[in-house]
Amino acid sequence: MNHDLKVIAVENGAQMRHQVSRAMPDLALLDVQLPGQDDGFALARWLRENSARVGIIMLTAAGNSVDKVLGLDSGADDYVAKPYEPRELLARCKSVLRRSVNKTTPSRIERVRMGHHMLDLAKRALHDDAGKDIPVTAAEFDILKIFAENPNRPLSRDWLLETTSHRTRDPFDRAIDLRITRIRRKIEPLPEKPTVIRTVRGVGYMFVPAE
């Protein structure tokens, strides 16, 4: 049964880029290890740069938390560990497809000042005072965007993870904390004493705009 899904298989990144040039898929299922120059992470970043709506699922080695974090940082919506149960994979594909269809249009806010930096929501970019581009991953940008849209509002770690990575957080999951640490190194005048992205004890984090 095809479950009303049309599947197109490709062998490597070059074939995928060629296929995407003809039509952007609704969902891309990417293995981390691929033949050729591009691995799954590189292709996920390339897809996300070209489309905010395409669903992306990474296939990762079982128990490899590094691959999971890298995949989500590359712009993936979900990940499935190998070996996987076909019914679970199908359920995750349908879940990501539903979310992709319902993704909201870009915020009407275009630029938000964060400390001495400017977040450009339209261009998905972060700049310093001199206009220099500050590299951020897709996952870091998504978190910054959530903060920009919710100033002075404490946001829980669980909500941040579910909203930006579309998965629930287990008690030992530190993905959000690690991303916040990396973000602070990029935007805080003193990362060890954050004033832009502040910690709210017992809750999570809060973006405090400059007065």
End-to-end CA distance of the chain: 58
In this structure, of 7-21, 126-140, 163-177, the range with the lowest mean pLDDT score is 163-177
**What's the CA gap between 168 and 130, in Å, rounded?**
38
H or E segment at 81? strand 78-82
Q: Is residue 125 part of a domain?
A: no
Domain end point (choices 76, 101, 126): 101
Q: Check residue 207 and give its pLDDT.
A: 93
Q: Given 53, 78, 101, which residue is the final one in a domain?
A: 101
Same-domain status, 77 and 151 = no
Residue 105: the pLDDT is 45
Q: Can you list the positions of beta strands (E) in 83-124?
A: 111-114, 117-120
Condensed to tens digits (0 to 9), the pLDDT of residues 62-104 reads 566 677 777 777 788 888 888 888 888 898 898 888 877 655 4
Q: Do residues 192 and 142 make contact, with C-beta atoms less than 8 angstroms apart?
A: no
CATH number, domain with residue 51: 3.40.50.2300
84 and 145, same domain (yes or no): no
**Residue 1: is its pLDDT beyond 70?**
no
> Is residue 61 pLDDT above 60, yes or no?
yes
Give me the domain span that covers residue 173. Answer: 135-207
84-93 contacts: CB < 8 A, separation 24 or more?
84/59, 90/3, 92/57, 93/5, 93/27, 93/29, 93/55, 93/57
Q: What is the largest CA-CA distance in the chain?
A: 58
Of 162 and 205, more confident:
205
Last residue of a domain, one of 80, 101, 122: 101
How many separate domains does the chain show? 2
CATH of the domain at 146: 1.10.10.10
Same domain for 93 and 146: no
